[in-house]
Amino acid sequence: MNNEYSFIIESPAEMMAALAEKVRCRRLEKNMSRKELSERSGVPVATLAKFEQRHAISMQQFVAIAISLGYGDQIAQLLAEPRYKTMAELEMIKANKNRKRGRAEINR
Instruction: Using the predicted structure, report yes or no on whether residue 3 has a pLDDT greater than 70.
Output: no
Burial 2-36 (b: 16+ CB within 10 A, else e): eeeeeeeeeeeeeebeebbeebbebbeeeebebee
Q: Name the residue range of residue 21's domain.
A: 12-95
Q: Is residue 103 part of a domain?
A: no
pLDDT in tens, 50-84: 999 999 999 999 999 999 999 999 999 998 988 88
SS (H, E, C) 20-38: HHHHHHHHHHCCCCHHHHH
Separation between Cα atoms, residue 2 and residue 55, nearest integer Å: 24
User: pLDDT class for 100, splitting at 50, 70, 90?
Assistant: confident
Neighbour count for residue 72 (Cβ, 10 Å): 13
pLDDT at residue number 1 = 46
When divided into structural domains, the chain yields a total of: 1
Q: Is residue 102 part of a domain?
A: no
Instruction: Using the predicted structure, report yes or no on whether residue 42 has a pLDDT greater than 50.
Output: yes
99: Cβ–Cβ under 8 A, 6 or more apart, which residues? none
Q: Is residue 104 part of a domain?
A: no
Q: What is the CATH number of the domain that holds 64?
A: 1.10.260.40
The answer to whether 93 and 81 are in contact (CB under 8 A) is no
pLDDT in tens, 16-28: 999 999 999 999 9
Q: Is the pTM of this model over 0.85?
A: no
